[in-house]
Every structure is written in structure tokens, then in C-alpha cells.
């Protein structure tokens, strides 16, 4: 009988720790997303960017992006996403085509992937600054 009570207590503690971890993760994610929402995407003056391949990154738990941006004659010619963690949201990797087409990081976010879109755009800005 004592073994059953002991196992029940241990199981209860494990479940409570697990639930506490989930609550912590959700609260941390929500706080990071609120901070991310407040960041304004400001364009980069490409006339100041020399030819080259530039690496940029941006992290906002649980979303992260590392990009390589190629610039030739002050024009973005390629963007490679080296790493992209989307958390639980959708990916937004197609946003790079809009950036290249419009030569601007002031583009519309991908529907359903707002946080991933913003993190990728901020990584591109980091590369070009």
C-alpha cells in the first residue's frame, strides 16, 4: 500500500512540474511576442551597402532566423535562410522573395506567420546594417 501512495505522490509531482514548465514556456513566449510586436521594421538605405554577402540574425524566443544577404551594385540579389526556427507558428520563408522584388524590408507579413516574418526581416536588416 505504501508503494502505491509513494508512486502516486511521485507521479503527481512530475505532472505538476510538467504543467509548470508549460505555463512558464507559454508566458515566456507571449512576453517575447509582445516585445516583437513593438519593434518597427525600418528600411535600410541600400545605396550605403557595398557589394558583398552579409550575415544577419535575429532571435525572439522561440523564433530565430539566420540569413545571408547578397548585395551587388546596391541591389539585393539573393537571400539565403541559413537557419529558421518557427516555434509553433508557420514558416514565412517566402517573404525573402518580396524583399528581393521590392528591394525593401518594408513588405507585408506572411499571413499566419507574422512572428516568423518579422524575425526574418529583422535578420535581413541586421545583415545590411
Q: What is the pLDDT of residues 43-79, one digit of tens each?
A: 999 999 999 999 999 998 888 999 999 999 999 999 9
CATH assignment of the domain containing 84: 3.90.1010.20
Task: Give me the chain's average pLDDT, please.
Answer: 88
7's grid cell: 508512486
Give pLDDT tens digits for 101-124: 999 999 999 888 888 999 999 999
Residue 109 and residue 91 in contact, taking contact as beta carbons nearer than 8 Å: no
Query: Which of 3-7, 9-13, 108-112 shows the lowest mean pLDDT across its residues?
Result: 3-7
Instruction: Tell me the pTM.
Output: 0.77
Number of domains in the chain: 1
How far, in whole angstroms, is CA 125 from its chain's centroid? 13
Cα four-point dihedral sign 74, 79, 83, 86:
positive
What's the order of all strands across the beta sheet hosting 63-72?
52-60, 63-72, 75-86
4 within some domain: no
Amino acid at each position: 500500500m505504501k508503494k502505491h501512495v509513494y508512486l502516486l505522490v511521485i507521479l503527481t509531482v512530475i505532472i505538476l512540474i510538467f504543467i509548470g514548465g508549460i505555463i512558464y514556456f507559454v508566458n515566456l513566449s507571449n512576453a517575447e511576442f509582445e516585445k516583437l510586436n513593438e519593434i518597427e521594421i525600418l528600411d535600410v538605405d541600400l545605396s550605403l551597402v557595398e557589394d558583398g554577402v552579409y550575415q544577419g540574425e535575429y532571435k525572439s524566443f522561440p523564433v530565430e532566423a539566420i540569413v545571408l544577404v547578397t548585395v551587388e551594385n546596391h541591389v539585393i540579389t539573393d537571400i539565403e535562410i541559413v537557419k529558421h526556427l518557427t516555434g509553433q507558428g508557420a514558416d514565412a520563408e517566402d517573404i525573402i522573395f518580396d524583399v528581393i522584388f521590392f528591394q525593401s524590408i518594408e513588405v507585408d507579413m506572411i499571413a499566419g506567420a507574422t512572428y516568423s516574418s518579422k524575425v526574418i526581416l529583422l535578420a535581413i536588416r541586421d545583415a545590411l546594417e
